[in-house]
Structure 1
Amino acid sequence: MIQNPILPGFNADPSFCRVGDDYYIATSTFEWYPGVQIHHSRDLVNWTLVSRPLNRESLLDMRGNPDSCGIWAPCLSHDGEKFWLVYTDVKRFVGKFKDTHNYITACETIDGDWCDPWYVNSSGFDPSLFHDDDGRKYFMNMQWNHRGAGTGGNPANSSFDGILLQEWSPEIGLTGPVEMVYEGSPLGLTEAPHIFKRGGYYYMTTAEGGTGYNHAVTLARAKNIWGPYEDHPDLHVISTQNTPVTKSAIQRTGHGQYVETPDGQVYHTFLMGRPIQKAGVGRFYCPMGRETGIERCVWRDDWLYLEEGGPDGMVPRETLPGLADVDPTPPRDVITEFAGTTLPSDFQWLRHPHPDRLFRVDNGLHMIGRESFGSWFENALVARRQEHFTFTVETTLKDYQPTTYQQAAGLTYYYNTHKFYKLLVGFEPDIGRCVQLICCPGDWQNNDLIWIGDKVAIPDGPVEMRADVDHAAVRFSFRPAGGDWTPVGGTQDATLISDEAGRGEHCSFTGAFVGVYAMDITGQGKEATFSRFAYLPKGA
């Protein structure tokens, strides 16, 4: 049985592709480098990370990109000869303007070296590439209207100005007329177009309703790729906007893609969130951000529907049949000793196409202290996704001796540059080498640093650091090597590390990470060496 989510933790905007008996899902990575995650499966139950293709400066440079910018909504496809990947590098999204540059790259193998990109346009985001039966290729993206008063008619949706379509080829680029072929449904916020062809119709799925609890997968069809497109009788194929958390643990569903198996079974991916409620507070939070799920569908009267569909026909199931009689891989401890010279694939870093400026792996993970906690340029942070509601993370800071309060290194529980906890070894003139817990409690409007609890003097030598997360609670502790664990700061609010914290779900939409960090704002690049990192899940 498939267990949703199939890609737990921050894996948003899934683009779904089949090549023979192999299935691939590409997901957004936003400001995390390398760009785009591609997972592979043959049973739709268990998935393995096989590629992060945007791994060099010619393909991606995000230095200076604000939080929740970078890689939005990739589209992965195969034309019978090679893989194609379409992606947006978003340089700004706060305010009226969006600077959204769209590119295409290609590769004969999923895990090979992808070619230098073709620049396509910057008129909007969430681009897609469709390969028609006659060999022609068509490029789509939503159009952004910075003036407002767009096609949606709803003031909240007025900048989403419909789906553009234009023919494209690698030899010529964009060619022929560019047409707005779909305005969207009344739900609005229409983005993420994907076209597939079946039985004489061109079907277009779009994501609508924003990244929060009103999200939906909308379907329309036309006899001609240029339209006109008629809406699905129910408008949406997947949506939980009318289903409370008490009736479905899967929420915030939308933005996915359609695939048929060789024997005619039909599946559709979707992004999703799993909200939890903080004690004493009515609001819900999704600590793992936007995850990837999958559902089986059926055709009725040339329209796509979920096979079962929950209370109103649009709600995905938590479990459903896969393609083989296999069990989902159970949670497992992931313990990294950093003994080699390669960063394990669990980990990513922020924005930078030249990671040797931030860290190196050589008998330890050597973090090179760079700019401040809030830097969008050189932020020396290496981390992995949170994938479970309850887990422990531990790391050993083997060698670090700061000499000024402008230097610090340690463990971080991180969402973005305005929402994080950092348990750090630093320096205070009246204390010397010490452990301190720091928090940034919001984004943009509330970005003051808060020191939590006492700064505790520690002797020279290795320091072990730990965070214990249990749903909405997180506790930090440390110990000198071989000593007893000392708690720092008491129980803290883990829901800070979520989309909904700070300014809310539409202002930040990535996910939670745990990792290590080093800062040296003297500019001297003082190094901190970490010998071990353990991610220890305690359950689902």
Structure 2
Amino acid sequence: MAYEIKNPIIPGFTPDPSILRVGDDYYIATSTFHWNPGIQIFHSKDLDNWHLLTHVLDKNAGIDLRGTDTPAGIWAPHLSFDNKTGLYWIALSKMNNMNGRMFDADNYAMSAKTIMGPWSKPIYLNSIGFDPSLFHDDDGKHYVVTLEWETREGFEHPGAIVLDEFDPQKGQLVGESIRISRGGTDRGCLEAPHLYKHKGWYYLMTAEGGTGYGHGVVLQRSKNIAGPYESDPKNPIVTSTPYYFYRRGDPDATRPDLYNPDAPLQKAGHGSLVDTPNGEWYLAHLCARPLPGTLDCTLGRETAIQKMSWTDEGWLRMADGTTLAKKTTPGITGVHPESINDVGMRDDFDQETVDQHLLTPYCVQDESWMSLSDRKGWLRLHGRQSFYSKRDVSILAARVDGFRVTAETKLSFHPKHYSDSAGLILYYDNSNWIFARMTYDELGKQPVIDIVQAVKGAKKELMKVKIPVNDGQVSFRATVSYDNVQFYYQVDDSDSWTTLGPQLEIKYLSDEELDGFTGLMAGIGTWDANRRTSYADFDYFSLDHNE
């Protein structure tokens, strides 16, 4: 009997999955928005157990995310493999600006001989819209499909899917763009086009209904790559809202009114198709799990998978014959799961590089502000701009991948000015975070600890009475339980933890409350708004599940 795959297969902030099989190896690339290194790639042997393998956009990629507004940055990477050249390819959008609904994006492609890289310098494709993907046809031609973002008043929004031929040798698009679809449903918010070929048909898969509660995976097909494309009569083929609604031209992507209380997973959409060596088919897609009793998704959009099959008429269907995304799906026939438990993380900072789960918002990770060699077994972070900045911030954080988790760190810090701070943080973006920190008290002339919070850009100091720390060393712990967090501290390496500040509500650190679509992160950081001369040493950082 085949094993059951449990969804989400990659929990926490892992949206817009693009799945690929090469041989017996499966890979998934996900969006990273304003976080570096950009584009996470996960690996699996069984479609059930996934671990973070590598990133595509390192500090040498040359893509600058400083100043990026949430939720702009790196959108919807598409992973593909060209059998004729043996090259892996990534197509991606760098969303620069969303003001005025202009959506100023630059789209790129990159290639590598192995999934581990090194990846080529980004090849500019176009700026017509976003969510480009590459298709390598069996005749040796290469194509890009992109959402052409409509900016004119009086025209149907968001636009059309356009097809372009891509010449890898010239490193550019060639010929004229061809509009091939304005959507396979009336759900609106058309995006995320992917092309596939199966038994002589070209299949265009898109995301429609918005990346919120009306999301769905839509399929169209044609005998000619340039169309015309006909829509699957059962569209959307995977969704959390399996009923008809008309939202063409409606720019709202969240659509909370379409929440389906009977759906096992919410927001199911943005699909990507893969086959197995024995001819079975699966669809990876994003999903979300709101906090109980709310529509707030602090974990962001996550990655799920559904088993699929082809009908005699040449359409894709979920294995159970429905269109409603499920929390479990049948595993690959004859495959035994390898039981990798890749949730949570711990870094004791005794290696040459930091754990790859640790990402940095806006700026790249480099030796100018972080070091593993200055103090053996510790990570030294030099204080830079405050966490309200969207440029040079000294933060390392991992995605929160469960509703009940504990984040913990120990640091050594010797602040000399009230503008010096270091500690443990829950972080959504530069305007929304909670920071348990050590800082300096001028009146007492000693280090103290407290909590400071950012709520939609407003600053709140939550402890009128700050706690002295005589030797400049402290451990912080944050225990998250669904919609709240309690901070603790520990001194002198004692076995006991002392409550720090009040219990805090965290549901505001969610896509719905902040009109975004990223996710909650937990990590460590420091700032120096005085002379940029202070630094903090961190002994470890861990993120553990309490479930």
Q: Which residue in 2 is equivalent to 1:154? A: none
For the structure 1 residues 351 and 244, does the alpha-carbon distance in structure 2 shift closer, same or farther, using more than 3 Å as the test? Answer: closer
Matched with 1:419 is 432
- Residue in 2 aligned with 1:396? 410
Alignment partner, residue 88 of structure 2: 83
Question: Structure 2 unaligned runs (5+)?
Answer: 243-257
What does residue 25 of structure 2 align with? 22
Paired AA for residue 414 in structure 1: Y
Compute the RMSD of aligned alpha carbons. 1.8
Q: Counterparts in 2 of 1:54-203, with a 5 A limit?
A: 54-80=57-83, 81-151=86-156, 158=157, 160-172=158-170, 173-184=172-183, 185-203=185-203
Whole-Å Cα distance in 2 between the matches of residues 412 and 93 of structure 1? Answer: 27
1:233 maps to which residue? Answer: 233
Q: CA deviation at 1:430?
A: 2.5
Alignment CA distance shift 1:170-1:52 (3 Å): same
2:513 corresponds to 1:498: no
Asked if the contact 2:46/2:338 (under 8 Å) is kept, the reply is: no
Residues in 1 aligned to 2:352 and 2:218: alpha-carbon distance in whole angstroms: 46
Which 10-residue stretch deviates more, 75-84 or 234-243?
234-243
Work out the CA distance in 2 between the residues paired with 1:376 and 1:358: 16
Which of these residues, 362, 365, 371, is aligned with residue 360 of structure 1?
371
Matching residue's letter, 1:413: L
- 5+ unaligned residues in a row in structure 1: which ranges? 152-157
Worse overlay, 492-501 or 284-293: 492-501
Aligned residue number for residue 511 of structure 1: 519
Shift of 1:404: 1.4
Asked whether the equivalents of residues 45 and 322 of structure 1 are also in contact (C-alpha less than 8 Å), the reply is no
Cross-structure match for 1:451: 461
Cα-to-partner distance string for 1:498-530 (whole Å, 9 max, x where unaligned): 21123xxxx311111110011111242411110
| Matched letter for residue 368 of structure 2 | R
Aligned residues of 2:77 and 2:131 also touching (Cα < 8 A): yes
Q: Is the 8 A contact 2:382 2:532 kept in 1?
A: no
1:281-332 residue CA offsets vs partner (Å, 9 max, x unmatched)? xx3221210110110011121111111155xx33234343245222644576
Please state how far the C-alpha of 1:433 moved relative to its aligned partner.
1.6
* Contact 1:6-1:292 within 8 A present in 2 as well: yes
Question: Which of 386, 390, 396 is the aligned partner of 1:372?
Answer: 386
**CA distance 1:171–1:345, change in 2 (3 Å):** same
Q: TM-score, normalised by structure 1?
A: 0.92
For residue 255 of structure 1, give the secondary structure of its aligned residue in structure 2: strand
Q: 5 Å matches for 1:202-217?
A: 202-217=202-217
Of 336-345 and 402-411, more deviation after overlay is shown by: 336-345
Residue 264, structure 1, aligned to residue 262, structure 2: no
Deviations 1:369-394 (A, max 9, x none): 11121111101100111111111111
> SS at the partner of 1:263?
coil
User: In structure 2, how many angstroms separate the alpha carbons of the residues matched to 1:118 and 1:330?
Assistant: 36
Question: How do 1:484-495 and structure 2 match up within 5 A?
Answer: 484-495=496-507
Contact 1:96 1:147 in 2 (8 A): no
Cα distance in 1 for partners of 2:429, 2:129 equals: 24
Give, in whole Å, the separation in 1 of the partners of 2:329 and 2:318: 13
Shifted more, 314-323 versus 80-89: the winner is 314-323
- Report the alpha carbon displacement of residue 197 of structure 1 after superposing the two structures with TM: 0.6
After TM superposition, the score normalised by the length of structure 2 is 0.91
SS at match of 1:219: strand
Match of 2:316 among 285, 288, 304: 304
Between Structure 1 and Structure 2, how many residues are aligned? Answer: 517
Question: Per-residue CA shift, 1:215-258, capped at 9, x if unaligned?
Answer: 11111111111111111102211110258554233111110211
Q: Deviations over 1:453-508 (max 9, x none)?
A: 33222212310000001111110111212344222222111212221123xxxx31
Letter in 2 for 1:192: A
Aligned partners of 1:367 and 1:518 also within 8 Å? yes
CA contact (8 A) 2:426 2:434 kept: yes
Counterpart in 2 of 1:293?
Answer: 304
Post-superposition CA distance 1:152-204 (Å, at most 9, x none): xxxxxx2x111111101112311112111111121111011000011221101
